[in-house]
């Protein structure tokens, strides 16, 4: 869809509101003419010395109608724009939630945020203020000119004569204004980069006593920004005052031509008053034209940027050939699994991995950084797009298992143990919102984090994250583990998720997991071999392939990669132990 088509689609979806808005706007434009017309009649009557009461009442009526229409047209159109903003934002949010992990790997959060915040805002401005004025201003002008022409065409031409200057002014200032704004923005960007560098490199700055030089550097940026801002102020105020002078010029014309006309007996004093009123009332709409053009352009550009997000079709969703499953067990078969991240096709992250796991087994996965451990376990809950048939759970291809079922039977404790800014209880309950407090407690106990939680003044109600308390890495990991355990999954995946937990606690957790296994399949990705020592099967990955496999004892005896890592970790442990 092009941006224009999107606008049409939005307006069509809200056609009733917009139709009402359009009718109100046109009625408003008509009422706009009534007020000066009524005032003109009153002035004529005063000059003639006749009764004015009826005309004044008419003027009051016109004013009332005008106010009512101005109120309702604004209210209807602006509210419609807010309604659309609400919908776009919701749509965008839902759309993002359907995107695969590989999409987020290629996006910066800041950029997505900027689309969801700034671009949605620009679209809203366009669909509200922008459309209102696009419809209103021409109607307003046409009607006003018609009325003026009807009263006196010669004076009308004179009154309108300064307005072509507007085009010249727009030409002269428009481009300069644009460039000047851009330059100021760029300089602000440069200044921000300098500040960023200074803060990020603060250690180097301090250790080399560069503070004074940094001050100079930043000072030069700040001064340049000052210059650009001042230049912008001169241009924009120049434009503003020049545009404001236009109605004054029109009034000079009214003054000279109109007065001559009255003296010549061609028109009445009230007519002159009408023209004076018009020149004043049309000032603001004229003033808005440039601004509206800007809003429309920005709105269209933003629609395009939003379109870029919408146009990505979410690939991970229930397919047409989804299997009618209602529960899943814990047997996993991986056959010739191959996966490459987009743009890195020549270096596949997984290159022909095959293994199978019986329900209730524990699989350890070890290997160097970048050997494909996390990628392998991400393929099981279908976080990645993988070829059909390469991963099967209970004999069913994961690509055909209903996503909801797959994800609720297969719990992952991710590496970064991301927690949301809410209470600990809500975090543990994240995957099963209906779980009772007792289940939350039990999950916390089994993840060996219950004691920690109970030591917090607010217990399970403690808020964590940005606006809450700061947890230690180990506490975060254990809460993330509790979150996964609360799901009571058939398959549990620990993706290096006990790295910040001390050895003794790790031991306790692993023992707990073994005891409460009850047919649950468990994948443990780990750097520390102690975590996988008791696994039924250990896979050693190297550059996307399984280099070694077997039990701990078998692998130690084999004298390969695993044995080497084992020797090194033993040494480290000895040193720690010695010193303690």
> How many beta carbons lie within 10 A of that of residue 327, not counting itself?
9
Handedness of CA 185, 188, 194, 198 (dihedral sign): negative
Q: Is 430 in the site for another protein (CB under 8 A)?
A: yes
Q: Is 568 in the site for another protein (CB under 8 A)?
A: yes
Within residues 329-388, the interface with another protein by CB under 8 A covers 381, 383
CB of 259 to another protein, least distance (A): 5
Collect all residues with Cβ–Cβ distance below 8 Å to 522 and sequence separation of at least 6.
Answer: 361, 362, 363, 491, 492, 493, 494, 513
Compare residues 157 and 514 and give the one whose CB is closer to another protein: 157
Q: Is 327 in the site for another protein (CB under 8 A)?
A: no
Q: Is 16 in the site for another protein (CB under 8 A)?
A: no
Q: Is 154 in the site for another protein (CB under 8 A)?
A: no
Contacts with another protein by CB under 8 A: the residue count is 133
Q: Is 579 in the site for another protein (CB under 8 A)?
A: yes
CB of 64 to another protein, least distance (A): 7
Tell me which of 7, 22, 24, 43 binds another protein, using CB under 8 A. 43
Compare residues 345 and 466 and give the one whose CB is closer to another protein: 466
Binding string, residues 452-491; x marks residues near another protein by CB under 8 A: -------------xxx---------------x---x----
CB of 56 to another protein, least distance (A): 4
Q: Is 164 in the site for another protein (CB under 8 A)?
A: no
Query: Furthest-apart CA pair in the chain: how many Å?
Result: 119
CB of 331 to another protein, least distance (A): 20
Half-sphere exposure of 158 (CA within 13 A, CB side): 19
Do β-strands 362-367 and 521-525 pair in parallel, antiparallel, or remain unpaired? parallel
CA angle 35, 240, 158 (to 5 degrees): 50
Q: Tell me which stretch binds another protein (CB under 8 A): 6-14, 150-158, 451-459, 567-575.
A: 567-575
CB of 366 to another protein, least distance (A): 14
Do β-strands 391-393 and 545-550 pair in parallel, antiparallel, or remain unpaired? unpaired
Distance of CA 542 to the CA centre of its chain: 38
Is residue 375 within 8 Å of 412, Cβ to Cβ? Answer: no
Tell me which of 2, 15, 23, 104 binds another protein, using CB under 8 A. 104
Q: Is 237 in the site for another protein (CB under 8 A)?
A: yes
CB of 296 to another protein, least distance (A): 20
Q: Is 411 in the site for another protein (CB under 8 A)?
A: yes
Q: Tell me which stretch binds another protein (CB under 8 A): 164-172, 319-327, 496-504, 570-578.
A: 570-578
Q: Is 542 in the site for another protein (CB under 8 A)?
A: no
Within residues 268-307, the interface with another protein by CB under 8 A covers 269, 272-273, 276, 280
Q: Is 308 in the site for another protein (CB under 8 A)?
A: no
Give the three-class secondary structure for 78: helix
Q: Is 259 in the site for another protein (CB under 8 A)?
A: yes
Within residues 194-223, the interface with another protein by CB under 8 A covers 195-211, 213-215, 217-219, 222-223
Distances from the Cα of 381 to the Cαs of 16, 81, 125, 216, 328, in angstroms? 45, 40, 41, 54, 12
Tell me which of 106, 150, 164, 241 binds another protein, using CB under 8 A. 241
Is residue 431 within 8 Å of 483, Cβ to Cβ? Answer: yes
Within residues 170-189, the interface with another protein by CB under 8 A covers 188
Collect all residues with Cβ–Cβ distance below 8 Å to 238 and sequence separation of at least 6.
Answer: 173
Is residue 535 within 8 Å of 344, Cβ to Cβ? Answer: no
CA angle 184, 187, 190 (to 5 degrees): 155
Handedness of CA 536, 540, 546, 552 (dihedral sign): negative
List, edge to edge, every strand of the sheet that includes 362-367: 410-413, 491-495, 521-525, 362-367, 537-542, 545-550
Q: Is 75 in the site for another protein (CB under 8 A)?
A: yes
């Amino acid at each position: 869809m092009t941006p224009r088509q999107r606008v049409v689609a939005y307006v069509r979806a809200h056609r009733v509101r917009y139709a009402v808005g359009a009718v109100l706007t046109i009625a408003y434009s008509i009422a706009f003419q009534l007020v000066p017309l009524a005032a003109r009649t009153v002035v004529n009557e005063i000059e003639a010395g006749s009764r004015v009461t009826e005309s004044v009442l008419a003027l009051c009526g016109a004013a009332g109608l005008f106010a009512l229409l101005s109120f309702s047209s604004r209210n209807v159109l602006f509210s419609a724009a807010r309604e659309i903003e609400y919908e776009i934002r919701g749509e965008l949010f839902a759309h993002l939630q359907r995107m695969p992990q590989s999409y987020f790997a290629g996006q910066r959060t800041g950029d997505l945020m900027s689309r969801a915040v700034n671009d949605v805002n620009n679209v809203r401005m366009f669909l509200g203020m922008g459309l209102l004025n696009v419809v209103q201003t021409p109607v307003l002008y046409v009607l006003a000119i018609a009325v003026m022409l009807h009263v006196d065409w010669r004076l009308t031409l004179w009154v309108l004569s300064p307005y072509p200057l507007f085009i010249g002014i727009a030409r002269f200032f428009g481009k300069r204004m644009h460039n000047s704004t851009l330059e100021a923005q760029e300089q602000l960007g440069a200044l921000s980069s300098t500040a960023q560098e200074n803060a990020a490199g603060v250690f180097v700055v301090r250790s080399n006593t560069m503070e004074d030089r940094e001050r100079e550097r930043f000072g030069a940026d700040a001064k340049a920004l000052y210059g650009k801002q001042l230049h912008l102020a001169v241009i924009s105020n120049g434009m503003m005052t020049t545009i404001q002078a236009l109605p004054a010029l029109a009034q000079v014309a009214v003054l000279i031509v109109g007065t001559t006309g009255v003296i010549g007996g061609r028109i009445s004093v009230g007519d002159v008053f009408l023209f004076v009123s018009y020149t004043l009332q049309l000032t603001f709409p004229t003033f808005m034209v440039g601004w509206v053009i800007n809003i429309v352009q920005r709105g269209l550009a933003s629609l395009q940027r939003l379109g870029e997000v919408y146009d990505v079709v979410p690939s991970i969703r229930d397919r047409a050939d989804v299997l009618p499953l209602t529960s899943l067990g814990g047997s996993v078969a991986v056959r010739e699994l191959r996966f490459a991240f987009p743009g890195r096709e020549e270096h596949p992250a997984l290159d022909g991995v095959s293994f199978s796991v019986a329900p209730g087994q524990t699989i350890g996965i070890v290997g160097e950084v970048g050997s494909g451990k996390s990628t392998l376990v991400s393929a099981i809950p279908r976080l990645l797009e993988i070829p059909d048939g390469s991963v099967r759970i209970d004999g069913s291809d994961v690509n055909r298992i209903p996503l909801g079922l797959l994800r609720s039977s297969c719990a992952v404790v991710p590496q970064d143990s991301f927690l949301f800014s809410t209470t600990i209880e809500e975090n543990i309950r994240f995957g099963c919102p209906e779980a009772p407090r007792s289940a939350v407690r039990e999950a916390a106990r089994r993840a060996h984090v219950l004691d920690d939680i109970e030591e917090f003044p607010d217990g399970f109600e403690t808020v964590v994250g940005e606006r809450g308390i700061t947890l230690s890495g180990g506490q975060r990991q254990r809460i993330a583990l509790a979150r996964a355990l609360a799901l009571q999954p058939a398959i549990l995946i620990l993706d290096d998720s006990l790295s910040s937990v001390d050895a003794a606690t790790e031991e306790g957790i692993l023992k707990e997991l073994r005891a409460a296994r009850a047919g649950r399949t468990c994948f443990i990705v780990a750097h520390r071999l102690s975590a996988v020592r008791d696994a039924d099967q250990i896979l050693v990955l190297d550059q996307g392939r399984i280099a070694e496999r077997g039990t701990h004892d078998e692998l130690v005896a084999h004298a390969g990669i695993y044995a080497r890592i084992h020797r090194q970790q033993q040494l480290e442990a000895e040193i720690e132990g010695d010193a303690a």
